[in-house]
Chains A and B, each alone.
Chain A
């Protein structure tokens, strides 16, 4: 596990490289457009540090590639050395097969739920299921993970997010102090 310090340094390097490629000084961007570019560079930099080893980082890069225009597409490509764009089609296949599986299990689940809805253990289980679903919606690519890998991905995602927030905060504070 990389130390948080080196994680932050590598994130800072990649993030600044991404922002430089946005060419802020040459264009007249609105504050919102600049903010989106800063955020996109930060997210892609954070995800590329994992080199495609985690599901959330692959999903985050795939999302950045899919939602941007051609210019942003080039930016993402340059920031990520490998090209994990093929993972988008893999995830779509996984999603389709999960939907089929869910549809076939649905009838069985509804029958069981009617019998056991008032026991405290089932209430607790329902809460865990509901909150697991919420967690899956928060982690990029979470809907494709089974519950075992969801926990590992969550931990890694939180660590990366914290490094990202720490670096961004330091830069913001440093910039505010200078001006």
Chain B
């Protein structure tokens, strides 16, 4: 099998080996909700990578949205309320 062959090849030609994929799947399973709900045994490497990429992209989008929301909040916060004073002292 080519995956066995790749483990013996030199360090410069490092493909992801089967063991690394198994390790990745078990760790990612705890992190990714989609994979956790599916059957545990047959998850392909490319599927795991795809879910990982989608998850990271959604996290990036969320950071972007939250930064936008916080930026607008700081602009529109009611100047006189007591809570505004607390938040202002926290971040301004």
Interface residues of A (CB under 8 A from B): 16, 19-20, 24-25, 31-32, 34-36, 38-39, 42-43, 101, 121, 124-125, 127-128, 131-132, 134-135, 138-139, 146-148, 151, 154-155, 157-159, 161-162, 164-165, 168-169, 171-172, 174-176, 178-179
Verify B72–A165 contact, CB threshold 8 A: no
6 A-B pairs, CB-CB below 8 angstroms? A25-B92, A31-B68, A35-B70, A147-B15, A158-B52, A179-B84
Task: Across the interface, name the chain B residue whose C-beta is closest to A19.
Answer: B91
**Chain B interface, number of residues (Cβ within 8 angstroms):** 49
B: which residues have CB within 8 A of A? 2, 11-12, 14-16, 20, 23-24, 27-28, 31, 44-46, 49-50, 52-53, 55-57, 59-60, 62-64, 66-78, 81, 83-84, 86-88, 90-92
Shortest C-beta distance, B58 to chain A (Å), equals 10
**A135-B52, A151-B23 given; A172·B69 CB < 8 A:** yes
Given contacts A34-B71, A125-B15, could you give 5 more A-B pairs where the C-beta distance is less than 8 Å? A19-B91, A35-B68, A131-B49, A138-B53, A169-B62
How far, in angstroms, from A124 to B43 measured CA to CA in the complex?
13
User: Which residues of the partner chain B approach A178 to less than 8 Å between Cβ atoms?
Assistant: 77, 81, 83-84, 86-87
* Among A127, A148, A162, A178: residue with most chain B CB under 10 A: A178
Chain B's closest residue to A138 (CB) is B56
**Complex CA distance for A135 and B24, rounded to whole angstroms:** 14
Check B53–A24 contact: CB distance below 8 A.
no
